[in-house]
Structure 1
Amino acid sequence: MTTLLLPAVFAIFIWWFSTGLILLLDNLPRTTFRWSIVLSSLLAGGALLGLAHTASQTTEAAAYCAFTCALLVWGWHELTFLTGWLTGPRKIASPAGLTGWPRFSQAVAAILWHEIGILAMGAAIVAITWNAPNQVGTWTFAVLWTMRTSAKLNLFLGVRNLSEEFLPPHLKYLQSFFRRRKMNLLFPLSVTAATAVAAMMVAAALQAPAAEAVGLVLVTTMLALAILEHWLLVLPLPSTALWRWAMRQPTPEPAAARPDNEDILLHAR
């Protein structure tokens, strides 16, 4: 039982801490964004090397390493998005009252470069670990991408809690693509399918050898946390309570150094 409990605790901690760290960095002055991106890029590059190194290893340590490396790569995407460095060609809000395909196409344009970057990185991870026995990193990245895409679609279609607090001032225009409603038809399908997959993975972990079980528990825990995040979209609970320590108000900048809205991304670069 300890073999299964430790990776679950590890996954929960690294999910909580890494999310808070990204939010904390995003609330620093914009003059720090460049250095945050540089440091994160170095970590992501090292993480890709780590995935390549552990792909052929089937030990418990290799499972932990591959899982952590996948999260470091994912963290790079989250940070580049929240700092405004890699979002999409559209950087203005959707007109009020816009519906249907025009609203959807504008929403896609607002995050297009970010999504293409995730797909490109996912393809690189698949190539690095192709036919290798250690697929923990690939599974982790796939779970993160699938569940984050599901969350974005649910926000677009409408949920109770939009979690606007997670958006920094320079990305507030993205709120125009969210919709507030009690429920949408995709939500029950999302959580039901994800829960069924998680249950199958738990069953597999209980029957697997120790090293394989560790990898399955790490990935399953991340999936369970993503399911929890989905439920927080519709339940009347504060979704930011866990990261209050990281969600302070952005540090004010001198007026002369503060960029205009149109210059934010150039400044971040």
Structure 2
Amino acid sequence: MSTFAFPLLYTVFAWWFGTGIILLLNQRPRSTHQTTFWMSGVVLLFALVGLKTSANLNTVAGAYCGFTCALLVWAWQEIGFLLGYVTGSRRTACPPECRGFRKAFYAFQTIAHHELALLVLGAAVALVTWGGSNLIGLWTFIILWAMRQSAKLNVFLGVLNLNEKFLPVHLKYIHSYFTKRAMNPLLPVSILMACLFAIPLWQTAFATGVTPYQIASSTILATLLSLAILEHILMVLPLSTEGLWKWGLRS
């Protein structure tokens, strides 16, 4: 049972602890943000080296290494976005009368640089893992990217929980592009599509005759995708997730 429990618990812990650390770094004085951003860039370089090194390690350790390094790559853009260094060309609130396509265009302008950074990072992850037999790092990044795009679209179209308190003061203008409503037609489709990918991963993790590496990698990816599905479900439930990261939102 520990064969499944350890990668599952590790993924949940990495998701929870990593998110809290990023929020905590963002809560520090503004004077520390530039140093934090540059230090995260150094970590990014080491993470890419780790992905390259683990790309041909079909072992349990290789699975953990690839997953962890992909999370560190992802963390760079999260830090850059929340600190306000990698956002977009538009840094003002949405005009009150703005609707439809115009609002969507303005919303994209607020995160255009962020979206470009994601594409560049994704290409970098694909490049360093290209031809490797251990692609958990690449699949981790793909899951994070796909589910984040889904979350952005759903928040724009309208959900109950916008989690606006996770946005720092200097990014509060982005909240004006969110829409608060009980549900939007895309959300159930997003959850269903994610489930269609999560189920085969769980089936592989619990299949007979698979290697320890396959169990670890499938469990990690399935858990990560399931957490993203849970986050989507919580968007329309009258529940707050802020308590999970109270230590990262201390100010």
TM-score category, normalised to shorter length: over 0.9
TM-score normalized by structure 2? 0.98
| Structure 2 counterpart of 1:172 | 172
Q: Distance in 1 between matches of 2:36 and 2:219?
A: 31
* 1:215 aligned onto 2:217: yes
| Structure 2 counterpart of 1:90 | 90
Q: Distance in 2 between matches of 1:239 and 1:15?
A: 13
| Structure 1 counterpart of 2:55 | 55
TM-score normalized by structure 1? 0.91
| Structure 1 counterpart of 2:239 | 237
Q: Distance in 1 between matches of 2:126 and 2:214?
A: 19
User: How far 1:231 sits from its partner (Å)?
Assistant: 1.2
CA contact (8 A) 2:48 2:125 kept: yes
Tell me the percent identity: 45
Q: Distance in 1 between matches of 2:205 and 2:27?
A: 39
Gaps of 5+ in 2: none
Q: Distance in 2 between matches of 1:120 and 1:219?
A: 22
| Structure 2 counterpart of 1:254 | none
CA contact (8 A) 2:204 2:214 kept: no
| Structure 1 counterpart of 2:226 | 224
SS at match of 2:239: coil
Q: Distance in 1 between matches of 2:39 and 2:127?
A: 24
Q: Distance in 2 between matches of 1:222 and 1:240?
A: 19
User: How far 1:97 sits from its partner (Å)?
Assistant: 2.7
User: How far 1:21 sits from its partner (Å)?
Assistant: 0.4
Q: Distance in 1 between matches of 2:20 and 2:164?
A: 16
Q: Distance in 2 between matches of 1:183 and 1:223?
A: 21
Letter in 1 for 2:28: L
Q: Distance in 2 between matches of 1:211 and 1:204?
A: 11
Q: Distance in 2 between matches of 1:205 and 1:198?
A: 11
Cα RMSD after superposing both structures: 0.8
Q: Distance in 2 between matches of 1:28 and 1:129?
A: 34
Q: Distance in 1 between matches of 2:79 and 2:65?
A: 21
Letter in 2 for 1:218: I
| Structure 2 counterpart of 1:19 | 19
User: How far 1:177 sits from its partner (Å)?
Assistant: 0.6
Gaps of 5+ in 1: 250-269
What whole-Å deviation, never above 9, does each CA across 1:178-227 have from its counterpart, x for those lacking one? 00000000000001111121111101222231112101111111111111
CA contact (8 A) 2:20 2:245 kept: yes
What whole-Å deviation, never above 9, does each CA across 1:63-121 have from its counterpart, x for those lacking one? 00000000001011100000001100000011013111100010000000001001111
| Structure 2 counterpart of 1:142 | 142
Q: Distance in 1 between matches of 2:176 and 2:224?
A: 29
Q: Distance in 1 between matches of 2:212 and 2:109?
A: 44
SS at match of 2:196: helix
Letter in 2 for 1:82: L
Higher mean C-alpha displacement, 191-200 vs 169-178: 191-200
| Structure 2 counterpart of 1:265 | none
User: How far 1:131 sits from its partner (Å)?
Assistant: 2.0
Letter in 1 for 2:56: S
Q: Distance in 1 between matches of 2:146 and 2:69?
A: 18
Q: Distance in 1 between matches of 2:97 and 2:148?
A: 26
| Structure 1 counterpart of 2:249 | 247
Letter in 2 for 1:212: Q
What whole-Å deviation, never above 9, does each CA across 1:203-258 have from its counterpart, x for those lacking one? 12222311121011111111111111111111000121100111022xxxxxxxxx
User: How far 1:39 sits from its partner (Å)?
Assistant: 1.6
Q: How does 1:69-218 map to 2 (within 5 A)?
A: 69-207=69-207, 208-218=210-220
| Structure 2 counterpart of 1:7 | 7
SS at match of 1:111: helix
Q: Distance in 2 between matches of 1:174 and 1:187?
A: 20
